[in-house]
Structure 1
């Protein structure tokens, strides 16, 4: 169901403006937004974070396997705690990218608004 505010905005625009906004496109999908994080000026930071996250995840899986293979409680504790900590750190590292996704969404919407304002100024 479309948002009533979007419907009101669409009705206020003339056909030419609607076509122009449609060429800009809707908000990109989640995976398209995630791929966008790997490019640009700070894409290398995303690559670095994902490499660190992958290494932590692999290390946590290895430690978890050792934990489940342990026969003594102290040995299980020595493998279980690092496994849990590394898994939590890997998840937190991945979550550090979500604010960038949100910022990119906001920037996309601001650009749409700038385009609408520029179009309105050209009419005057």
Structure 2
């Protein structure tokens, strides 16, 4: 009975060590950003980054114009454009982070496929 308990305990410890290794191997934020610029969507990422930069310039410019406007109509005009540029920039950043997540999930699924294939190969040769 003790042999079975010890065997189960050893297997669980090995599994936990493997999970800890996988968690430690997760890339950081800058690596994930770099990975998003590779692959099939890299040109979209470049385009979105350019637009995000342009919206940042627009945000600064319209913010300045808003605070230096002399009439209420000008403040409303520049404030609306400033708000729209903030919103556009937020949506572009959201898309960027969703793309980073997609690339990360695809990487994890491919890793899982390789592990399943390796396990299947081991099981087919053990018979």
Taking a change above 3 Å as real, the CA distance of residues 12 and 70 of structure 1, as seen in their structure-2 partners, is closer
Size of the aligned set, in residue pairs, is: 110
State the secondary structure of the residue aligned to 2:98: helix
Which residue of the partner structure matches residue 115 of structure 1?
114
What are the equivalent positions in structure 2 for 1:30-109 lying under 5 Å apart? Answer: 30-109=29-108
Which residue of the partner structure matches residue 28 of structure 1?
27
Scaled by the length of structure 1, the TM-score of the pair is: 0.75
Choose between structure 1 and 2: higher helix proportion: 2
Taking a change above 3 Å as real, the CA distance of residues 90 and 12 of structure 1, as seen in their structure-2 partners, is closer
State the secondary structure of the residue aligned to 2:101: helix
Taking a change above 3 Å as real, the CA distance of residues 12 and 93 of structure 1, as seen in their structure-2 partners, is closer
Taking a change above 3 Å as real, the CA distance of residues 12 and 88 of structure 1, as seen in their structure-2 partners, is closer
Scaled by the length of structure 2, the TM-score of the pair is: 0.74
Decide which structure has the larger Cα Rg and report it: 2
Deviations 1:10-36 (A, max 9, x none): 6249x9xx6xxx69x711111111111
Instruction: Give the Cα–Cα distance (whole angstroms) in 1 for the partners of residues 38 and 15 of structure 2.
Output: 36
Cα RMSD (Å)? 2.5
